[in-house]
Amino acid sequence: MAEAILQIFRGDAKGGAAKECRVPMAPGMVVLDALHYVQAHQIPDLAVRWNCKAGKCGSCSAEVNGRPRLTCKTRMDALPLDKPITIFPMKSFPVIKDLVTDVSWNFRINKKIPPFQPRPGADWKIEQKDVDRVQEFRKCIECFLCQNVCHVLREHDKKEEFGGPRFFVRVAGLEMHPMDGASRAGLLRKELGIGLCNITKCCTEVCPEDIHITDNAIIPLKERVVDEFYDPLLMLVRKIRGVKQSQD
């Protein structure tokens, strides 16, 4: 039977190095299958985060041959087997052990987002096309691969000033919810720092759910922020009427 050679990162917060393992290939095998094989036969304490193994929970993110992927959806037969397959943890988050990283920062960001607020007097009659429009954002499985590749987080580590693509997608899912009545423009501008995004679309490229993060979520949200805070006409109207800007 054919064999694959893996170079799996072994280490913790203090550092580590790749360890070579050999696994027998099987039809349709995915990288997560290979990692499970290694756990059962070679390295019983190899730390791997996973749950559904069906691309629905977004737990098993890692960098395979340098590309951020869900290991449960990465087919071994789609990778070149003439050289070792490297499997490393997501780079933008601190390593806990092996392939498991500390993603708790994401949960702290999420807490800042004002929840769904139904419009007063909403009658809950919703058209399917309005559901379809936000579906794209609501199917996010929180794998955090977009957070992992975003330059603002990966190269510049601006975790204190920036929310990252995942949370722009989440805000888009709320803002474009047909029954939602809240405005999160102030949050986007300040706490989530949407202005830092320079729309390189790296997030869109790695999204396993094919969400058009940049085009459909981030750019429209940037426009909302501009409309709310920088529209000269609106600013003038507000000044005359003495209206304060929302949530600023």
Partner 1 sequence: MSDRFETHEHDVLIIGAGGAGLRAAIEALGQGASVGVVCKSLLGKAHTVMAEGGIAAAMANVDAADDWRTHFRDTMRGGKMLNNWRMAQIHAQEAPDCVRELEHWGALFDRTDNGQILQRAFGGHTYKRLCHVGDRTGLEMIRTLQDRGVQMGFDVYMECTVTRLLKDGDRVAGAFGYWREQGRFVVFKAKSVVIATGGIGKAWPITSNSWEYTGDGMALAYEAGAALMDMEFVQFHPTGMVWPPGVQGILVTEAVRGEGGILRNKTGERFMERYDPQRMELSTRDVVARAIYTEVREGRGTEHGGAYLDISHKPAEYVKRKLPSMYHQFLELADVDITKRPMEVGPTCHYMMGGIRVDAETAQSTLSGLFAAGEAAAGLHGANRLGGNSLSDLLVFGRRAGLAAAKHASSTPAPSVDSAQIDQAERDALEPFQRKDGESPYAVHRDLQDSMQKLVGIFRNKEDLQRSLGEIDKLKQRLKRISVEGSRLYNPGWHLALDLKSMLTVSEAVALSALAREESRGAHSRIDFQNLDPAWGARNNIIGREGEAMRLRQEKVLETPGELKQILAEGK
Contact map string, positions 46 to 65, toward partner 1, x by CB under 8 A: xxxxxxxxxxxxxx------
What distance in Å separates the CA atoms of residue 141 and residue 55, rounded to the nearest whole number?
Answer: 8
Burial class (CB in 10 A: 0-12, 13-18, 19+), 85: buried
Sign of the Cα pseudo-torsion (10, 18, 82, 72, in order): positive
Query: Is position 24 an interface residue for partner 1 (rule: CB under 8 A)?
Result: no
45 binds partner 1 (CB under 8 A): yes
186-225 footprint of partner 1 as x/- string (CB under 8 A) = ----------------------------------------
Choosing from 96, 196, 219, 234, the residue that interacts with partner 1 (CB under 8 A) is 96
Amino acid 141 reads: I
Nearer to partner 1, 166 or 189 (CB): 166
Shortest Cβ distance from residue 25 to partner 1 (Å)?
Answer: 11
Does residue 110 interact with partner 1 by CB under 8 A?
Answer: yes
75 binds partner 1 (CB under 8 A): yes
Of residues 74 and 214, the one with the C-beta less far from partner 1: 74
Contact pick of 2, 17, 28, 239 for partner 1 (by CB under 8 A): 28
Q: Count residues contacting partner 1 (CB under 8 A)?
A: 58
User: Could you tell me whether strands 85-88 and 3-12 are parallel, antiparallel, or unpaired per DSSP bridges?
Assistant: parallel
Residue 73 binds partner 1 (CB under 8 A): yes
Positions 115 through 174 that interact with partner 1 (CB under 8 A): 115-116, 118, 124-128, 131, 134-135, 138-139, 141-142, 174
Q: Name the minimum Å distance from CB 193 to partner 1.
A: 21
Least distance from partner 1 to the Cβ atom of residue 35, Å = 10
Which residues of the shown chain bind partner 1 in the complex (CB under 8 A)? 12, 26-30, 33, 39-41, 44-59, 73, 75, 96-98, 100, 102-104, 107, 110-111, 115-116, 118, 124-128, 131, 134-135, 138-139, 141-142, 174, 177-180
